[in-house]
């Protein structure tokens, strides 16, 4: 399955729900927010949201800023 | 006490978390500044390596009030998108809204800023709007639902200090919501002068992060903000173009 994650094409073998995507990428799920095809996936909806072939995913967190 | 959007704060100094040489130095500087409100930005996580750039690795959301910004956004739509992501990632409904209009000066796009303020306020966001020192824009931001208006002292990261004290005073006199001067202070005297205009608070980042000794500058800024506030409340003496002696003129030797 081909996804675009944070602007980079990426092949994922299984089709996880959005909830498992951060962990599969080695990220702390509590520290990030997932946007799927420009829609923010609210935390309670993460488990029930499938990630499909061709989806555009953004995963963001807080960094230092002014 | 400073009240913004229903939340109260003891410190009138707010600080950013960008551009520090190290996270340890940043934490120590924030502590020395006495700030409670600390700004952060939303960015993509890095997928290429174990990512330690997340600010929550270093900054406790229990200890500080994290105020996310929309820095780097050039349209209302983009800023709205970042604000929504920040709210989902974050701990409150507050956003420091920036809609930038020009890469060279980083001056705000006030039309986009007004549009984004309206949309976000209607969605329940507490919008602190970063703007220029223009009274009319400030008034319209208040009408659009901003809980605080943040006029600049001078351009972001410039360190040029307070360029137009008169405009800042005018904005403070005419608006009801808190006025937090954001951007442009370079050193303690700048912060003191800003607070002497009677504004409610000040936000800074580069003045601390790029000082030779950020922790010492943070301490200086804390004192300057307190001094400026006290001087404003004390009410300064009038300016005169002539000298007036401080010692008695009577009783001089014959």
- Tell me what pLDDT residue B89 has: 85
Query: Is A33 contained in some domain?
Result: yes
- Tell me what pLDDT residue A15 has: 67
SS3 content of chain B, % helix, strand, coil (to 5): 35, 20, 45
Active site residue B96: yes
Question: What are the tokens at B82?
Answer: 């970042």
**Among residues of chain B, what percentage have pLDDT more than 90?**
91
- Tell me what pLDDT residue A44 has: 86
Of B42, B47, B69, the CB nearest to A6: B47
Instruction: Tell me which residue range forms the domain holding A35.
Output: 2-60
Out of A21-35, B4-18, B72-86, which region has the weakest mean confidence (pLDDT)?
A21-35
The three-state secondary structure class of A4 is strand
A29 vs A13, B121, B149, B247, CA distance in Å? 20, 28, 34, 70
Tell how many helices (H) and how many strands (E) occur in chain B. Answer: 8, 10
Interval B155-182 mean pLDDT: 97
Distance CA B126, CA B147 (A): 6
- Tell me what pLDDT residue A57 has: 92
Interval B109-113 mean pLDDT: 97
- Tell me what pLDDT residue A27 has: 84
Query: Is A65 contained in some domain?
Result: no
A9 inside 8 A of chain B by CB:
no
B236 inside 8 A of chain A by CB:
no
Asked whether the beta carbons of residue A62 and residue B55 sit closer than 8 angstroms, the reply is yes
Of A40, A42, A61, the CB nearest to B45: A61
Q: Which of B130, B68, B87, B113 is nearest to A40 (CA)?
A: B87
A6 inside 8 A of chain B by CB:
yes
Of A6, A10, A62, the CB nearest to B56: A62
The per-residue pLDDT of chain A, averaged, comes to: 88
A11 inside 8 A of chain B by CB:
no
CATH code assigned to B2-45+55-233: 3.20.20.70
Asked whether the beta carbons of residue B89 and residue A32 sit closer than 8 angstroms, the reply is yes
CATH number of the domain to which A10 belongs: 3.10.20.30
Q: Where are the domains of chain B?
A: 2-45+55-233
pLDDT digits (tens, 9 = 90+) for B40-68: 999 999 887 665 668 888 888 889 999 99
The per-residue pLDDT of chain B, averaged, comes to: 95
Interval B192-196 mean pLDDT: 98
How many domains does the structure of chain A reveal? 1
């Amino acid at each position: 399955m081909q996804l675009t994650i944070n602007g980079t094409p990426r092949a994922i073998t299984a089709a996880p729900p959005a909830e498992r995507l951060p962990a599969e990428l080695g990220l702390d799920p509590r520290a990030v927010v997932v946007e799927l095809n420009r829609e923010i996936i609210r935390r309670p909806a993460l488990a029930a949201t499938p990630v499909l072939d061709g989806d555009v995913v953004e995963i963001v967190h807080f960094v230092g800023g002014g | 006490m400073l009240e913004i959007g229903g939340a109260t704060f003891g410190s009138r100094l707010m600080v950013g978390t960008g551009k520090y040489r190290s996270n340890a130095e940043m934490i120590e500087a924030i502590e020395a500044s006495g700030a409670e409100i600390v700004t952060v930005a939303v960015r993509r996580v890095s997928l290429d390596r174990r990512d330690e750039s997340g600010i929550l690795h270093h900054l406790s959301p229990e200890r500080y009030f994290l105020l996310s910004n929309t820095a780097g956004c050039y349209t209302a739509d983009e800023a709205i998108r970042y604000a929504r992501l920040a709210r989902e990632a974050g701990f409150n409904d507050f956003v420091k809204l920036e809609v930038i209009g020009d890469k060279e000066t980083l001056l705000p796009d006030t039309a986009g800023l007004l549009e984004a303020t309206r949309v976000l306020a209607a969605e329940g966001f507490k919008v602190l709007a970063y703007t220029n020192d223009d009274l009319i824009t400030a008034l319209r931001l208040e009408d659009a639902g901003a809980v605080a208006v943040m006029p600049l002292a001078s351009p972001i990261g410039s360190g040029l200090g307070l360029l137009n004290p008169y405009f800042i005073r005018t904005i403070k006199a005419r608006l009801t919501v808190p006025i937090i001067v954001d951007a442009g202070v370079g050193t303690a005297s700048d912060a003191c002068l800003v607070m002497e205009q009677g504004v409610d608070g000040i936000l800074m980042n580069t003045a601390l992060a790029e000082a030779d000794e950020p922790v010492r500058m943070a301490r200086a800024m804390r004192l300057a903000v307190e001094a400026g506030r006290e001087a404003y409340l004390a009410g300064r003496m009038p300016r005169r173009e002539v000298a007036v002696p401080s010692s008695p003129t009577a009783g001089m030797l014959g």
